[in-house]
Amino acid sequence: MAHDHSLNPETMPHHPEKATLEGKNKFLGLWFFLGGETVLFASLFGTYLALKNSTAGGPTSEELFGLELVFLMTMLLLTSSLTSVYAMYHMKNNDFKKMQLWLGITGLLGVAFLACEIYEFYHYIHEYGFTFRSSAFGSAFYTLVGFHGGHVLFGLSWLAAIMIRNAKRGLNLYNAPKFNTFSLYWHFIDVVWVFIFTVVYLMGKVA
């Protein structure tokens, strides 16, 4: 390739993720995408708030939610955001192995979060008969939290794909933007969860 040299420079620039036009475009494009995602989740939050008391005689949020598990999930996801920051720190220092290590930890924390969520849904369905179809509250709850869970799942698949793909060849200016956009996306998922924790679980338990 004509510009293999430019993709594998002798010394990496300080911001390898934004050193090429493609990198700059990916960076900005992902920010815009997250803007759209904000509206998507805002619409889902709005729907949830409108329907959270429409339990149709089924279990209410106060009866359902247990803050212990949700607190654990919050800690898992917040920590995974922190570890992805470490990964990006090592990317900027051109330390590929450490970046992969921290990304791996990020992924494991994400998997643990997802496992908790699956357990939580299973628990609601089998212990309380609280399903997607039992009430408008159920539909809104599973849609909002499920959309977030789907985003986590997509993020984990994305992470696995770029980690495995680049495992042998190390960091260059072509894949650095990919790692960086993943990390931005992951932070966003984390922020959405903070709102879910507050609006769905805390307000559902207390308010």
Partner 1 sequence: MSTATAQKTSFAAVIWDYLTTVDHKKIGKLYLYGGGFFFLLGGLEAMIIRIQLIKPENNFISAGLYNEMITMHGTTMIFFAAMPLLIGLMNAVMPLQIGARDVAFPFLNALGFWLFLFGGIMLNVSWLTGAPDAGWTSYTPLSTLSPGHGVDYYVLGLQISGAGTLMGGINFLVTIVNMRAPGMTYMRMPLFTWTTFVVSVLILFAFPALTVGLFLLMFDRMFDSAFFDVALGGNSIIWQHLFWIFGHPEVYILILPAFGIFSEIFATFSRKRLFGYTAMVFATILIAFLGFMVWAHHMFTVGMGPVANSIFAIATMAIAVPTGIKIFNWLLTLWGGNITINSAMLWSLGFIPSFTIGGMTGVMVATSVADYQYHDSYFVVAHFHYVIVGGVVFGILAALHYWWPIMFRRILNEKLGKLAFWTFFIGFHLTFFIQHFLGLMGMPRRYWVFLEDQGLELGNLISTIGAFFMAFGVIVFLYNAIYVWFKGEPAPQDPWDGRTLEWAVASPVPHYNFKQLPLVRGLDALWIEKMEGNGKLTPAEPVGDIHMPNGSILPFLMSVGFFIAGFGFIYQTQTNFAYIFLFGGMALALLCMLIRSLKDDHGYHIHKEELEKEAE
What is the distance between the alpha carbons of residues 46 and 44, in angstroms, rounded to a whole number? 5
Footprint on residues 158-177 left by partner 1 (CB under 8 A)? 158, 161-162, 165, 174
Q: Is residue 77 a contact residue for partner 1 (CB under 8 A)? A: no
Residue 7 sits in the site that holds partner 1 (CB under 8 A):
yes
50 binds partner 1 (CB under 8 A): yes
Which among 42-50, 68-76, 84-92, 189-197 is the span making contact with partner 1, rule CB under 8 A? 42-50
Smaller CB separation from partner 1, 11 or 32: 32
At residue 12, what are phi and psi to the nearest 5 degrees? -70, 140
Residue selected from 60, 79, 94, 139 as contacting partner 1 according to rule CB under 8 A = 139
CA 173 from centre of chain: 24
List contacts with partner 1 (CB under 8 A): 1-3, 7, 21, 24-25, 28-29, 32-33, 35-37, 39-40, 43-44, 46-47, 50-51, 53-56, 132-140, 143, 158, 161-162, 165, 174, 178
